[in-house]
Amino acid sequence: MSDLLNSLLREARLWQGHRQHAISHSPEPTGFPMLDGQLGGLGWPRGALSECLLEAAGIGELQLVLPLVRRLTHTQRTVFWVNPPFIPYAPALAREGVNLDQLVVIETESPQDTLWTLENCLRSPVTGLVMAWPERLASRDIRRLQLAAEAGQSTCILFRHRHEANQSSPAALRLELVPGSDLSIQVNILKRRGGWPGQNCILPMETRAGQAGGDPSARILQGPWPDPRS
């Protein structure tokens, strides 16, 4: 039993308050210094799940992950989009400096297919980031995805509805996203590995093209996007 406990402590799987051990693999900066500061400098955790909980798609959540997507695609690591609610608009992403050759969009046909796809993407050595918009997940499913992220040392961000905040989750990071005034997002930290929750910050959602709303590419990145198939 003592050997098992020591292993869990070394791998930072047990919360120890102020004595929390450093995670062995370096995290991915969010690209927002204010948010990184609230997260204790840990950013998006690697080898773990993060959850972004929001009321509806298209509040600017993609701009929150845009710095990570841009950085990973230029290190020749693949970014998977699994069941996005709208079709990503390639010209806008290209204007924001994203390497489109490293983006893969996947649409699945069933919850079982989604879970299988996520597990395999997370375990792949080419993966830098998996972003997914799944239907309701059971705790055991999230645990399976957590294990897959650990095995592949990849970053996974699940976009889920705000009411899922009431469900317990093994995710290392849980953020509640609330649209603010002046095209900003309020980020409430509901859970973070190695620290107390409860912090929040307001982030202005700007793009390289300038303030969202002033340029078509900025509006497309913010969403919602029209689906030409409808």
Identify the H or E element spanning 93.
Answer: helix 90-95
**pLDDT tens string 62-96:** 999 999 999 999 999 999 999 999 888 899 999 99
Q: CATH fold of 31-222, please?
A: Rossmann fold (3.40.50)
Whole-model pTM: value is: 0.80
pLDDT at 195: 63
Sorting pLDDT into bands at 50, 70 and 90, what band is 20? Answer: very low
Is residue 186's pLDDT more than 70? Answer: yes
Of the candidates 195, 153, 151, which has an alpha carbon nearest to the alpha carbon of residue 173? 195
Residue-range domain boundaries for the chain: 31-222
Q: Which of the two residues, 194 and 40, has the higher pLDDT score?
A: 40
Lowest mean pLDDT of 31-35, 164-168, 209-213, name the range.
209-213
- Dist. CA 69–CA 78, nearest whole Å: 9
Phi, psi of 109, deg, nearest 5: -105, -15
**pLDDT tens string 190-217:** 998 766 666 778 888 765 444 444 454 4
